[in-house]
Amino acid sequence: MCLGSAQLLPVSATLAWVLAVLLVAAVLTAVLFHLSPDDTNSRAWQILSAGLRGAVQLAVVSAVIGWVVRSVIALPVFVLVMYGVAVRTAGRRITADRTWWWAALPIGGAAGPVLLLLVGTGLLPVQGIAVIPVAGILIGGALTATVLAGRQGLAELRSRHGEVEAAMALGMLDRDARLEIARPAASEALVPGLDQTRTVGLVTLPGAFVGMLLGGADPVAAGAVQLFVLVALLAVQAVAVSLTLELLARGLITGSDQARSNGAGAKPDTSAPRKWVPRPLRSRRVREAARSHSSP
């Protein structure tokens, strides 16, 4: 059966009002259950603005995508715009200070090499219709992993600041102390990608698979492409999390409060020599020092 002209959802007035109802439901749920991190309704407004912004952006992209995929000049420009928006979005989600631009490293360092590998091996033809969706998937995956790793890692460094200081008091290097504390929380950013890959075909049918089926592709070919996308995302997200964690450990990405204190954003104290501590001893020594530091 050919599905070349099939549509997943009809574009009609019914689709428009259903989308509006779903968006309003999301906003009201955020308000009624106080899902904002503070006493305001900021999260509800963010949901509303995200929905409206997404509609506008997709309308614009739908209008120009046909020209972009056929233009040799517009194609790299469009990919760079995607990358720039991802960097700013991820950086601003992680921190409000000037270190946000460091998000360019994990996103570019993760998605860029994979994209170049695919093009260099000939698996991905240098055509807009192929490059744009794959680049969008890879950059989007790197964005998500960077945001999750950055936010959770910074939150852990902030809440366990005393343990970082205790580890440094034991003689651990500044980077090693922060890395020891931030690593478990930051690595949780890999969980969504792992779950998506584990449940593909059983719980979820991702967009690439469904899109190819609707376009008339053979189911086996669609499955192979989707597997490639998922494995590529695992590689991209692993690299993005690793680079983000390294930036946090080196104090290159900081929280606004850390930049004004002696936390992760401060200049390291070089007055006393630091020494390397074997990894198996680190966590135990940190916990013991933290307990002795907090006891009366």
pLDDT of the chain, 296 residues: tens digit per residue: 444 445 667 888 999 999 999 999 999 999 999 998 887 888 999 999 999 999 999 999 888 888 888 888 889 999 999 999 999 999 999 999 999 999 999 999 999 999 999 999 998 888 888 899 999 999 999 999 999 999 999 999 999 999 999 999 988 999 999 999 999 999 999 999 999 999 988 887 777 777 777 777 788 888 888 898 899 999 999 999 999 999 999 999 997 655 444 443 444 444 444 444 444 445 555 555 555 555 55
Host domain of residue 130? 72-294
> Do 151 and 128 have their domain in common?
yes
Cα(177)–Cα(123) distance, rounded to whole angstroms?
42
Q: Would residue 265 count as lying in a domain?
A: yes
> Do 66 and 208 have their domain in common?
no
Q: Would residue 2 count as lying in a domain?
A: no
> Do 129 and 269 have their domain in common?
yes
> Do 156 and 284 have their domain in common?
yes
> Do 107 and 220 have their domain in common?
yes
Give the CA distances from residue 67 to residues 44, 119, 263, in Å, rounded to whole numbers and listed in that order. 36, 21, 49
> Do 23 and 114 have their domain in common?
no
Predicted TM-score (pTM) of this structure: 0.80
> Do 45 and 172 have their domain in common?
no
Domain boundary among 70, 91, 108: 70
Separation of CA 2 from chain center: 36
Cα(146)–Cα(190) distance, rounded to whole angstroms?
10
Total domains in the chain come to 2
- Those residues with Cβ within 8 angstroms of residue 250's Cβ, 6 or more apart along the chain or in another chain: 175, 178
